[in-house]
Amino acid sequence: MSQSAAPRSTWSNRWAFILVTIGSSVGLGNIWKFPYMAGSQGGSAFVLVYLVCVLLIGLPLLMAEISIGRRGKGNPVAAMLNVAGETGNTSWWGLLGWVGMLGALLILSFYSVVSGWIVDYLFKALTGFQVATPEAAQQSFAALLGNPYQLALWHSIFMAFIVGVVARGVVSGIEIANKVLMPCLFLILVLLTLWGWVAGDMSAAWHFMFDFKFSAITPTVVLAALGHAFFSLSLGMGAIMAYGSYLDKNTSIANTSLWVAAAGTLVGILAGLAIFSLTFQYGLQPGSGAGLILQTLPLAFFHMPGGNLFAVFFFLLVLFAAWTSAISLLEPFVSWLTERLSIHRPTAAWSTGLAVWLLGLASCLSFNEWNHYRFFGLNLFDALDYLTSRIMMPLSGLTIAIFVGWAMGRAAVADELRLKSRAFTLWFNVLRYIVPVGISLVFLSSILGWVE
Ligand code: PFF
């Protein structure tokens, strides 16, 4: 049974789709998380395993998710129902769309809070704020987390920017925003990498990221890299499915997916090189974890010539990346409201944004006033992160692999992908066997606490 009869928007061309999908994929995950995870998980070992995971698991799944979106031509729930109906499967598969859409909203609620930290640091950089010692850097971050009003302010501003774009529509909002922000992002990234080369110790950064020491590959590193490949490609949350649903029939899904995976990886690597070249130049610790860009890097900014300007560009870069990803987290549910309940897009976007904003406020409070409310020992912010990244995303990704690999039927999948027969067989088998096994490993490892 088809759910969406209204005419749907279509991206202006194949490059628009590539750009928005790269926009969704390249986010805090690539610029904030990738470098600090590489820094704390054995450097090059993590990078190598991450690349393999992107190729073996991320890429096949990306293609599968886009295929469902395009064939189903609807919001994630409608797309799943349409494809399941067409291929003679039960409508229970529609639940997968729900898990994705709701998961995306949950992620957005705290993603926006972290993006708010970046806005705060951008303002700090603009006003010439500097930290000279590790203690000062730590204190300034702790002061931010301890102040719910400040967190809420930046979170509110960030959310307004997200909703403002999504409310304008698929082509005149999302596509235009990405067409402006993504080229700026690439330009800033190249500039910062070159700057890091001149002002920092690029050779140490290079060795740290690319001298592959096979002995450093441990199960923890493998699982962390696999989980991260997943998050950084925006898989399993309906975002890619929603974007895929606006893709025209003639564009090659395999080709565009390759571009997206390659660009996301390249951004992570360049950001890592820029960050580590400064980290090493000033004798700082690459393995400082989540505080790498907010606590370690500001110390480098303090010491380097022109550090303040570098900081402004750097936080702008992170902000643009976060912005385009957050947009893709809001779109799936908004598209459902507009298509299923015929709600006017701006109303749908602002009301969904309001609900997400409220939940985000609770995350802001979870660092201070509400820190004593615990869910399995975690504050709300960490609990939401755990629930989405470690449970909902892998489960949803696994279900997509099973649906496309085992339920949809080879003929329908082949018709959507239009690959040469050998390439298709290779991809299909990877999706049927390697992807489910890989994801199950990540999932079990998170649940059983094998990795931190
Ligand atoms: N890929 C984004 C990042 O790396 O920051 C995060 C993300 C966006 C996850 C959209 C999931 C999603 F649906």
Q: How do residues 346-394 score in pLDDT, each as one tens digit?
A: 999 999 999 999 999 999 999 999 999 999 889 999 999 888 987 898 8
Helix 435-448 and helix 393-402, axial crossing angle in degrees, nearest 10: 160
Q: Which token pair is 271?
A: 């950001």
Residue 296: give its domain's CATH number: 1.20.1740
Q: How do residues 140-180 score in pLDDT, each as one tens digit?
A: 999 999 999 999 999 999 999 999 999 999 999 999 999 99
Report the C-alpha gap between 118 and 132 in whole angstroms: 19
**393 Cα nearest atom in ligand 1:** 11
Distance 104 CA to ligand 1 centre (A): 9
Segment of 221-230, 324-333, 433-442 carrying the highest mean pLDDT: 324-333
Distance 134 CA to ligand 1 centre (A): 30
Residue % of the chain over a pLDDT of 90: 75
Buried b (16+ CB within 10 A) or exposed e, 246-275: bbeeebebbebbbbbbebbbebbbbbbbbb
DSSP 369: T
Say how many domains are in the chain. Answer: 1
Is 6 within the bounds of a domain? no
Residue % of the chain over a pLDDT of 70: 97
Is 441 within the bounds of a domain? yes
**237 Cα nearest atom in ligand 1:** 13
Distance 411 CA to ligand 1 centre (A): 31
Residue numbers of the domain that contains 78? 14-448
- Count CB-CB contacts under 10 A for residue 376: 8
Q: Which token pair is 336?
A: 């459902």
Is 309 within the bounds of a domain? yes
The helix or strand, by DSSP H or E, that contains position 141, with its residue range, turns out to be helix 134-145
Is 2 within the bounds of a domain? no
Which residues line the pocket of ligand 1, CB cutoff 6 A?
24-25, 27-30, 104, 107, 231-232, 234, 237, 239, 325, 328-329
Is 5 within the bounds of a domain? no
Contact 264, 233 (CB under 8 A): yes
Of 56, 31, 73, the residue nearest 192 (C-alpha) = 31
Give the Å distances, CA to CA, from 262 to 11, 17, 186, 364.
21, 15, 13, 34
Mean pLDDT of the chain: 92
Helix 253-281 and helix 44-53, axial crossing angle in degrees, nearest 10: 170
Nearby residues of 386 by Cβ (< 8 Å), 6 or more positions away: 376, 378, 446
Is 129 within the bounds of a domain? yes
pLDDT value, residue 450:
61
Contact 72, 81 (CB under 8 A): yes
Report the C-alpha gap between 202 and 7 in whole angstroms: 51
Q: Quick one: pLDDT band at residue 290, thresholds 50, 70, 90?
A: confident
Is 137 within the bounds of a domain? yes
Q: How do residues 172-215 score in pLDDT, each as one tens digit?
A: 999 999 999 999 999 999 999 999 999 999 999 999 988 877 78
Distance 328 CA to ligand 1 centre (A): 8
Question: Taking the mean position of all CA atoms in its chain, how far away is CA 391?
Answer: 16
Is 4 within the bounds of a domain? no
